[in-house]
Amino acid sequence: MDRRVRVIAGPAADSRGRIVEDFGELPQQPVDIGGRHFADPARRWAVLLDDGALAFFDTDQLEPE
């Protein structure tokens, strides 16, 4: 952890930051109970962006800086 990365996909593309948590390989499943949507699929990496925002990404959305 604490590796510097650049976001290469999604709304934060071209942002930079450092990895603060690796949630590992989790199943990519949304959480829906009784027809109600509670959460989108989990992302693997928590990244503290240089602008101070905490964001979550999949491996294919990041590259080493």
How confident is the model over 10-22, as pLDDT tens digits? Answer: 899 999 999 999 9
For residue 11, being part of any structural domain is answered with yes
For residue 53, being part of any structural domain is answered with yes
Euclidean distance between CA atoms 13 and 57, whole angstroms: 11
| Res 27: pLDDT | 67
Q: What is the number of domains present in the chain?
A: 1
- What confidence tier does 5 reach under pLDDT thresholds 50, 70, 90? very high
Euclidean distance between CA atoms 51 and 28, whole angstroms: 28
61 DSSP assignment: G
| Res 25: pLDDT | 77
Sheet of 16-22: strands edge to edge?
A: 54-57, 45-49, 16-22, 4-7, 62-64
How confident is the model over 17-60, as pLDDT tens digits? Answer: 999 999 887 667 778 899 898 877 778 899 999 999 999 999 99
For residue 62, being part of any structural domain is answered with yes
Spatial contact of 11 and 23, defined as CB atoms under 8 Å apart: no
Q: CATH number, domain at 49?
A: 2.30.30.30
For residue 31, being part of any structural domain is answered with no
Q: Which domain holds residue 51?
A: 1-22+39-65
